[in-house]
């Protein structure tokens, strides 16, 4: 099915001192889906994400990162960040159980908060008869790398 989340963001803060590094790369990968009774695995399918452009958000860099307010729709600047490369269009396919996919990268970072809104999430799987009537779990792993 398809889900349209409200105010769901993947966010990160580049609080490195000026001149200590200007690059970052955001990647994501989807695990295979495993039945809650651990008898079945689905690895033929994908999680399809529709993402916004990378934007900035008002991350108060003077506050403790553990208590810093997250983007909530009112503190996000809905203007694409210049110099950020994103695969286009904004639809990204994460194949289940496969390597990570690049979502965004830049070589010209600044001390600020960044975010990308999850506009839509869609699960597409090829099931087998053994998977019918079962509940499955999986996860998306997000990775931010500062060495492109």
Task: Note the pLDDT tens digit of each residue in 105-131.
Answer: 888 777 788 888 888 899 998 766 677
Neighbours of 24 (CB within 10 A): 20
The average confidence (pLDDT) of the chain is: 83
Tokens found for residue 107: 């070589």
Question: In sequence order, what DSSP letters do the residues of the chain get, joined into one string?
Answer: -EE--SS-EEEEEE-PPTTS---EEEEEEEPPEEETTSS-EE-SEEEEEEEPPPEEE---TTS-TTTPPPP-SSSEEEEEPTTEE--SSSEEEEEBTS--EEEEEES---SEEEEEEEEEEEEEE---GGGTT--EE--EEEEEES--
d(CA 134, CA 62): 47
Q: How many CA atoms lie within 13 A of 72 on its CB side?
A: 4
Q: How far is CA 121 from CA 64, 117, 126, in A?
A: 31, 11, 17
The reply to whether omega before 89 is within 30° of 0 (cis) is: yes
**What is the pTM assigned to this prediction?**
0.81
Q: What is the pLDDT of residues 135-146, one digit of tens each?
A: 999 999 999 988
Which pLDDT score is estimated for 128? 65
Which pLDDT score is estimated for 33? 93
Which pLDDT score is estimated for 123? 92
């Amino acid at each position: 099915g398809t889900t349209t989340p409200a105010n769901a963001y993947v966010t990160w803060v580049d609080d490195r001192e000026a001149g200590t590094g200007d690059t970052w790369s955001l990647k994501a990968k989807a695990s295979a889906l495993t039945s809650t009774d651990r008898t079945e695995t689905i690895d033929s399918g994908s999680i399809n994400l529709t993402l916004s452009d990378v934007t900035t958000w008002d991350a108060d860099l003077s506050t403790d990162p553990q208590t810093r307010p997250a983007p909530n729709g009112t503190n996000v600047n809905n203007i694409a960040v210049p110099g950020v490369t994103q695969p286009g269009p904004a639809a990204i396919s994460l194949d289940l159980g496969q390597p990570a996919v690049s979502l965004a990268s830049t070589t010209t970072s600044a001390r600020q908060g960044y975010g990308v809104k999850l506009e839509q999430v869609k699960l597409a799987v090829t099931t087998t008869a053994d998977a019918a009537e079962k509940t499955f779990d999986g996860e998306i792993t997000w990775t931010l790398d500062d060495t492109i």
